[in-house]
A and B are shown apart, each in its own frame.
Chain A
Amino acid sequence: MSGRLTSSNKVAVVGYAHSVVQRHNPRPLGALTVDIVRAAIADAGLVPAQVDGIVAATLFPSAGSHTIEDGVHTVTTTWLAERLGASPRYVAGFQGVGQVSGSVALAVNAIVSGAADHVVLYRSLHNPRGSYHASATDAFGGPAQWTAPTGYFGPLAMIALPYNEYLQRYGATREAMAAVLVEARKNGARIPWSYWYGKPLTAEQYLAAPTLTDPICRYDCDIPVDGVAAFVLTSADRAVDGPNRPVYVSGYAHAVPKTNNRLPLHWPLDDIMTAGLDTARRLWESSGVKPGEVDLPQLYDGFSPFVWFWLESLGLCPVGEAHRFVQDGRIDSDRPDGLPVLSGGGALGNGRMHGIPQMLECYLQLAGRAGDRQRATATLAVACQSSPHYGGAVVYSVDPF
């Protein structure tokens, strides 16, 4: 069964808070999370005791040898529920890769079902000391036994293979990706809380960077950071009583790949696009929105090739054409005719905040709270996260159509 969600436009985002994004925040992640979540609750005109739902995803996405301690490297919803001063009835974690879009779905479903009235949604990211992905392990069991002993290890190689597969299949080049990086960093440089605030990147700087795992260079990867963001969601009925213009959740979809038992690091291009096109079809059905109606598609860019894959998955350009589509200012958010796919800076322009920059830009623009960056027209937005074949996307609207 498919079709428009019965929850479409029945839930709205009504407040937010965001920490500064930096390589290492001196404050412990748990305490910072409590502060930011409380700030988001206050921004929504509420007090913690009115919050009865807490949702998040707590993936700590490192291939490295790190111990994962709750409240230090990640913050689970149960950890937060004990310390927030809220009145939780619904406390849930999203187990999957589309961490933020998946959490939005949990919040929407909880509110529409009556499981909770006011839900806080947050994402807490931690950058451990030392190399993020390096591992001193010299014997691998489980899925890694099939990849690590041959030197196939870590996410750079994971994304490099489908990226090169795309370049070879469509005759694209690494030079074509410069437009994506320049746009992400241009916008990130304007965002005061971004790690890259005041630090745009030129195409020449991008192309001068040596490749680490061909064709990936360091600028193609979001930089690991400490950072926390939180949002408050409530029912459309209650949302209109708050201090901010509500932003409605019109629909969402998440990828359900059928990859024939691929290894976790093995992401062939056809797997990505087959599942991505299916995800997008369900996204449009879930919301009753068509791709051409979206004026703020915020694409995921934890690795730069995702921007191309999402452009094509969402139907914003034909398959195989994204590397051309991004050229000549067509994704320049400063141009009246540019499609603002990275106007919020994305992960490449903010730091590794997973799907937060996309959701935040959708919220800020549609709520009319983007300040100097406010766009003249922003009515229907999409926030994507992760790869199109493992992640998800959410459609937001200024009107509860």
Chain B
Amino acid sequence: MIPAGTAGAAGVPVPAGAGTGTPAAGSPRPVPVPDEQSAPFWAATARHMLTAARCARCRSLTIPPDQVCPHCDATDPEFVFEPVSGRGRIRSWTVVRQSFLPGFNAELPYLLVDVELDEQQELRMIGRLLDGPDSPVRLGTPVRVAFEDVADGVSIPAFVLADGQEDA
């Protein structure tokens, strides 16, 4: 097993966000099936903490980890999930109005954002923006992580608009 976020790692635990915490009526929201490599990530999200995998060889962060480090090509990256700030900026977005997953029918329409996390250039993550489909987003809009509690012990990272950082 890969250990979960290590003590003294960069970043601070992320406060719980504005997740609705209310599973949709009808079909349940789909849940992740953790595997050996991803289990620490999902264990951390269950505690409302966002982590990224750090390569022991080149120290770069990756989401999700792979067998080979995508930055230094090491085949023994010994990835360790470390907490990250959960802050980032929007690189793109879309409003989903028709879902192919029944578990999201009750959420339509919803906004998805492609976020570059502050910790590392091109460290990008896609998640729902929980402020609603009409949120004022543009390239570079700052966001912070939030979590949706979709099932018992299962929380999915998402984002909310970060206040007061428009021109930071």
Contacts and interface: CB of A to CB of B under 8 A. Distances in A.
Interface of A: 63-64, 131, 133-143, 145-154, 156-157, 160-162, 164-165, 168-169, 210-216, 259-263, 266, 268-269
Contacts of B157: 150
B104 A151 contact: yes
B42 to A, nearest CB: 8
Given A146-B38, A151-B101, 19 more contacts: A134-B100, A135-B100, A136-B102, A137-B101, A139-B31, A141-B32, A143-B64, A146-B63, A149-B32, A150-B112, A150-B156, A151-B104, A165-B139, A210-B97, A212-B97, A213-B94, A261-B66, A266-B126, A268-B124
B92 A168 contact: yes
Interface string B4-42: 000000000000000000000001111111110010000
Given A146-B64, A165-B92, A151 B112 contact: yes
Nearest to B64: A146
B131 interface: no
A149 B114 contact: no
A168 B100 contact: no
A148 B98 contact: no
A157 B112 contact: yes
Contact of B100 (A133, A161, A211): A133
A92 B125 CA distance: 37
11 contacts: A133-B100, A138-B27, A151-B112, A161-B126, A164-B94, A210-B97, A260-B62, A260-B70, A268-B91, A268-B92, A268-B114
Given A157-B112, A168-B138, A150 B128 contact: yes
Interface string B96-137: 111111111001001010100000001010111000000000
A138 B31 contact: yes
A152 B112 contact: yes
B30 A214 contact: no
Nearest to B38: A145
B91 A165 contact: yes
A143 B126 CA distance: 13
A152 to B, nearest CB: 5
B150 A160 contact: no
Contact of A169 (B29, B70, B139): B139
Contacts of B31: 138-140, 149
A261 B64 contact: yes
B71 interface: yes
Contacts of B38: 145-146
A152 B100 CA distance: 10
Contacts of A215: 94
A269 B92 contact: yes
Contacts of B124: 262, 266, 268
Contact of A212 (B92, B98, B102): B98
B43 to A, nearest CB: 13
Contacts of A213: 94-98
A57 to B, nearest CB: 24
A148 B93 contact: no
Contacts of B44: none
B158 interface: yes
Given A138-B28, A147-B126, A213-B94, A165 B114 contact: yes
Contact of B30 (A138, A154, A212, A260): A138
Contacts of B29: 138, 149
A214 B95 contact: yes
Given A151-B112, A152-B112, A64 B71 contact: no
B32 A214 contact: no
Contacts of A169: 139
Contact of B94 (A131, A161, A260): A161
A303 to B, nearest CB: 13
Nearest to B65: A261
A216 B99 CA distance: 13
B63 to A, nearest CB: 7
Given A146-B63, A149-B156, A168 B94 contact: no
Q: Which 7 A-B pairs have the closest CB atoms?
A: A141-B33, A261-B70, A145-B32, A165-B92, A160-B94, A214-B95, A154-B100
Contacts of A259: 70
Nearest to A63: B100
Contacts of A260: 62, 70-71, 122
A182 to B, nearest CB: 24
A143 to B, nearest CB: 8
